[in-house]
Amino acid sequence: MADVQADYLKITAPQTKEPFIDIMRRISQFSHLSEELLLQLFEYAKFVNLADKERPIQEGTFGQNIYILIQGRLEVYLQTESGVEKLTDVIFKPFSIIGEQCILGEINNASMEARGEVLLLAIDMSALPDLLDGWDNPDSRLEDEAYHHSLDMNTIFATVLLNRLNRLIKDQYKLVQKLLILHQSKEYQASWRQNVLLTTVFNEFSQNHLSPQLEVHEVLQQALVHFIPENEKLNSLISQPPVNTEKVYMELVRLEALGEIDNLDILLMDTIQRLSAKAMELEEYTKGLELQPHHLPSIISLSDYLTEVFNALSSSGILSKELSMGQFLEGFLSESYPEPAQLSDYLLKGGWTTGLFDRSYLMLQICQTCIQKEFELNRMIAECVAYLTTLNTPRQNVQMQQQKFIEDNRTITEELIELYQGTVDDDASQAKVQDASPKGNVDDLLSEFGL
């Protein structure tokens, strides 16, 4: 078996220790970490350079690394019950953290796939004490001070996950709002009816199932007037009702293949539109054209998440005295969003928790509930996005905001890329500072619907 540690920076590029620690200090999520913990991260870190479509994380597998995105784009996929994967999110912001599932000892509930070349920094979390084992087997716990690094790292993960969860909750509300607006729009309803009718008529035309009331003979005489005189077979098919439209369709396909029809698509569209105009006057075609509401799963709210964390905390056995919901919210909520570190300090000062192990396990519970809710939200968003992509809503350009974030962090990104390049051979594939403008991702997709 290959030695995993052989790829760590302490082995492959020991000279990068000081610049690595200096750069990590300037990334906001890691800026407060001690010198000792930053050194430990270096000793268990390695660069991972992915080619297009490579997957650092695969749904249904276990992992032991967390990953920090340095450059590139990762797409998030979830597998449906039928086994089909759906794109649910795109991660493009430098220094995003992924792979937090490994700290729970659970299988990955989503896959991450590189879109283009991607540079990651992987950190092996197996170096930290096993909180889950310590919780299940109190006799195996280490001295409390040994969990200081676990508290720091799990607080980072809890903060990152909560920020991501908060974004997904907001996206969810926007998606639902857009769906409701679309269904209430008379313009959309009319367009939807027309599109459904056109599809229905085309299917019936190509399978010879059109209603006799459509006067197909007359419509085809008008639509194909320029081709009938020059084609004996086509003339024969259309001359006498009832017309077998399936045979007409195949004859038109044959003529296009022979080069006798230049633009069959345009010809067919004109024919179907003529037939649809007549179909709109017939009850047998219009009575079923009522827009059905899109039944969405129940909204997942931030208050739902807070309630679940409170219930988990109350029943965990961590607390040394009873905690009310009001006290919990006072400690957890700032003016704008939940703050895990603030809750940890609040519970410590109030005497609800004491040791580093308990506070570390509290952060683990926050992470666990976040991951569960994020999974539920991604499934809901995937369903909504799949529905919205069928509606042909005009596109909007929201790349400016994303590009600004990337530009603001370009200096640190470039330094990390330079550090990575110093760890590989000159002949090896070098990561390059790419144009990070997002193209074709889920964020763009959401923006197409005003999100």
Query: Which of these ranges, 83-92, 222-231, 370-379, 432-441, has the smallest mean pLDDT?
Result: 432-441
Q: Is residue 176 part of a domain?
A: yes
Which secondary structure element, helix H or strand E, spans residue 261, and what is its range?
none
Q: Using a pLDDT cut of 90, give the percent of the chain over it.
A: 24
Q: How many residues comprise the chain?
A: 451
User: 69: which strand partners?
Assistant: 120
Question: What type of residue sits at position 40?
Answer: Q
Is residue 134 a part of any domain in this protein?
Answer: no
d(CA 406, CA 420): 19
Amino acid 115: pLDDT: 92
Is residue 308 within 8 A of residue 233, CB to CB? The reply is no
Q: Within a 10 A sphere around the Cβ of 3, how many other Cβ atoms?
A: 8
The Cβ of residue 426 has, within 10 Å, a number of other Cβ atoms equal to: 6
Q: Report angle CA 110, 115, 121 to the nearest 5 degrees.
A: 75
Q: Round to whole Å and give the CA distance between 381 and 375.
A: 10
* Residue 135 resides in a domain: no
Rg (CA), the chain: 30
Whether residues 370 and 409 fall in one domain: no
Would you place residue 366 in the very low, low, confident or very high pLDDT band (cuts 50, 70, 90)? very high
Instruction: Name the residue with higher pLDDT: 317 or 425.
Output: 317
Please, which pLDDT band fits residue 393 given cuts at 50, 70 and 90? Answer: very low
DSSP 358-391: HHHHHHHHHHHHHHHHHHHHHHHHHHHHHHHTTS
pLDDT bucket at 292, cuts 50 / 70 / 90: low
**pLDDT given at position 391:** 53
Supply the pLDDT for residue 117: 93
Domain edge (last residue) among 286, 320, 339: 286
Confidence category of residue 288, pLDDT binned at 50, 70, 90: low
- Please indicate, yes or no, whether residues 169 and 309 belong to a single structural domain of this protein: yes
pLDDT value for 450: 41
Tell me how far the alpha carbon of residue 361 is from its chain's centroid.
Answer: 28
How many other C-beta atoms are found inside a 10 Å radius of the C-beta of residue 32?
12
12, 122: one domain: yes
Residue 27, judged by CB atoms within 10 A of its CB (0-12, 13-18, 19+), counts as middle
Residue range 210-235, pLDDT digits in tens: 888 888 888 888 888 887 777 888 88
Evaluate whether residue 132 is within a structural domain: no
Q: Give yes or no: residues 166 and 307 share one domain.
A: yes
pLDDT, residue 99, reads: 87
- Whether the pLDDT of residue 282 is over 50: the answer is yes
Averaged pLDDT, 143-172: 88
Query: Is 133 inside a domain boundary?
Result: no
- Is residue 391 classed exposed, middle or buried when 0-12, 13-18 and 19+ CB atoms within 10 A define those classes? middle
Question: What is the pLDDT averaged over residues 416-445?
Answer: 58
Q: Are residues 407 and 389 in the same domain?
A: no
Strand partners, 49: 119
Cβ count near 299 (within 10 Å): 12
Give the span between the Cα atoms of 161 and 153, in whole angstroms.
12
Do the domain assignments include residue 292? no
288 SS3 class: coil
Q: 378 and 345, same structural domain?
A: yes
> Within a domain: residue 294?
no
Same domain? For 163 and 110 the reply is no
Residue 433 has pLDDT above 60, yes or no: no
Are residues 273 and 195 located together in one domain of the fold? yes
Once rounded to an integer, what is the mean pLDDT over residues 335-340?
A: 84
Residue 291 within any structural domain of the chain: no
Asked if residue 17 and residue 116 are part of one domain, the reply reads: yes
Out of 259, 286, 313, a domain closes at 286
What is the domain-level CATH number for residue 20? Answer: 2.60.120.10
Q: For residue 436, what pLDDT band results from cuts at 50, 70 and 90?
A: very low
The pLDDT, as a whole number, for residue 400 is 43
**Lowest-pLDDT range of 175-179, 263-267, 425-429:** 425-429
What does the pLDDT look like over 62-102, one tens digit per residue? 888 999 999 999 999 888 777 788 888 888 888 888 888 88
pLDDT of 28? 85
Residue 143: its H or E element: none
Q: How far apart are the first and last CA of the chain?
A: 48
The amino acid sitting at 336 is S
> What is the rounded distance in angstroms from the CA atom of residue 176 to the CA atom of residue 355?
43
Whether 52 and 176 map to the same domain: the answer is no
Phi-psi label, residue 392: left if phi above 0, alpha if psi -120 to 50, beta otherwise: left
Q: What is the mean pLDDT of the chain?
A: 81
Q: Phi first, then psi: give them for residue 46, nearest 5 degrees.
A: -155, 155
pLDDT of residue 268: 87
End residue of a domain, out of 221, 253, 286: 286
Same domain, 178 and 314: yes
Tell me: do 204 and 180 sit in the same domain.
no
Task: Indicate the number of domains in the chain.
Answer: 3
Residues of the domain holding 250: 188-286
